[in-house]
A = this chain, B = another copy of it.
Amino acid sequence: MSRIALIVGAGSGNSAAFARALAEQDYRVVLAARNIGKLDTLCKQIGAHAISCDAASVASVNELFESMKQDVGLAYVALYNASAYTAGPITSLDPELVLDSLMKTAYGAFLVAQQAAIGMKQLGGGALFFTGATASVKGFPNFSPFAMGKFALRGLAQSLARELGPENIHVAHFIIDGAIASPGRDLGSDEHVTNVGDTELEPDAIAQTYMAVLNQHRSAWSHEIDLRPWVETF
């Protein structure tokens, strides 16, 4: 029987590429997002199930997992890929948008991780992945809300890596350091004229590393992996 993978904060970039890669390795994929209309094509392509969810809402996340349990099953893999931020000098930020950023980037990750971990403990194992950013390890000027959210996400991932590892649940935090290219390119071809010189991260290239980490033997797990273009200044 196929294992089940859940992607929260699914869109058209690295999450879609990861969904396709999972489907190729025979996972049944569930995509969750606030607006699932945009996911129709992907769902058809890979036979995925889409569920609408506001990741920052306790009730909505509970419904998502309830619905999965009834219709699909428990997730063996879960990726939290959602985030939101507002930028600007601290003196001119809107406190409501800052809260929204913290809720979607970090608190939602907690809610999803909690429900996912409950299921993975029942399954006897699993993988819990978090998509971070440059802002996960460096707070840039005028980006305090994003730094708060992404640092918090990393703290959550670190804590859970230590807590859930011995329960056979592989927790990994990915630091995406650079711009992600528009989706559509087939790696190995040169067709993708919008990413000349590979200066932006190809979604499929990100997904390839997510899959490599997912397939690691548990005697040698990675817990934090950086990913950036070869020409990126860092």
Q: What residues of chain B lie closer than 8 Å to A99, measured between beta carbons?
A: 107
A99-B107, A114-B90, A140-B162 known; A209+B216 contact, CB < 8 A: yes
Contact at A223–B226, with CB atoms within 8 Å?
yes
Q: What residues of chain B lie closer than 8 Å to A199, measured between beta carbons?
A: 219
**Cβ-closest chain B residue relative to A162:** B141
A221-234 Cβ-contact flags toward B at 8 Å (1 or 0): 11111111111111
Contact at B117–A91, with CB atoms within 8 Å?
yes
Contact at B218–A226, with CB atoms within 8 Å?
no
What are 10 residue pairs bridging A and B, where the CB atoms are less than 8 Å apart in the complex? Answer: A95-B110, A102-B107, A139-B158, A143-B159, A148-B155, A151-B154, A200-B219, A212-B212, A218-B229, A219-B229
Q: Which 8 A-B pairs have the closest CB atoms?
A: A151-B155, A139-B158, A139-B159, A147-B155, A141-B163, A205-B220, A205-B217, A212-B212
Give Cα A160–Cα B150 distance, bound, in whole angstroms: 15
A182 within 8 A of B: no
A162-202 Cβ-contact flags toward B at 8 Å (1 or 0): 11111010100000000001000001000000010011111
**Cβ-closest chain B residue relative to A176:** B220
